[in-house]
C-alpha cells in the first residue's frame, strides 16, 4: 500500500488536480488506487450546486492518474518526464459519483513500448462500475 506522501513523491500533480489518495495494490502490470470524494472539492461549487455530481472527465483523469502512477513507478528519471494523455476509447459512464463515495480505480497495462502505453481502467463505487475506458499515453520530457 502507498499513501499520499508516496504518491506526491512520484506524481507531478498537486492540489487541486491530484485525484488519487492511496494506492491499495500494484504489480508490474496493474494497480488499484482510491479517491475519496468530498463535498469540499472545488468542482462541486458549480457541478451542480444543488445536486453535486463528480464530473465524468475528472473520473477519467483520476483513472489515468492511477495508470500514470503505475507507469511512473517503473521509470527512474521521472523527475524530468511527464506522461501525456494521447487518447481515449470505449469510455462509458454508468452511474453518478457523489460526495461521500470512495472510488476504486483498477487499471491494467494492455500494451507498452518505450514511451507509449495503452491501459484499460475501471472505476468502481462499492461493487458498481461507474466508469470504464481504454486510455493511451505518451511519456515525454518536461
Query: Known catalytic residues?
Result: 47
The DSSP-derived string for 21-48 is: -EEEEE-SSEEEEEEE--TTSGGGGTS-
Q: What proportions of the chain, in percent to the nearest 5, are helix, strand and coil? A: 20, 45, 35
- Nearest-CA neighbor of 88 among 114, 121, 55, 46? 121
Place of cell 483498477: 106
* CA distances (Å), origin 134, targets 1, 14, 33, 81: 25, 24, 17, 22
Amino acid at each position: 500500500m502507498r499513501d499520499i506522501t508516496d504518491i506526491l513523491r512520484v506524481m507531478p500533480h498537486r492540489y487541486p488536480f491530484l485525484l488519487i489518495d492511496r494506492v491499495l495494490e500494484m504489480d508490474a502490470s496493474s494497480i488499484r488506487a482510491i479517491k475519496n470524494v468530498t463535498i469540499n472539492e472545488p468542482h462541486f461549487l458549480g457541478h451542480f450546486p444543488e445536486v453535486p455530481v463528480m464530473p465524468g472527465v475528472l473520473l477519467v483523469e483520476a483513472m489515468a492518474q492511477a495508470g500514470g502512477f503505475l507507469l511512473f513507478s517503473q521509470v527512474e528519471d521521472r523527475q524530468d518526464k511527464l506522461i501525456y494523455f494521447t487518447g481515449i476509447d470505449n469510455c462509458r459512464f454508468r452511474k453518478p459519483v457523489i460526495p461521500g463515495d470512495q472510488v476504486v480505480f483498477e487499471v491494467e497495462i494492455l500494451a507498452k513500448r518505450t514511451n507509449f502505453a495503452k491501459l484499460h481502467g475501471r472505476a468502481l463505487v462499492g461493487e458498481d462500475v461507474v466508469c470504464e475506458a481504454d486510455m493511451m499515453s505518451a511519456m515525454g520530457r518536461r
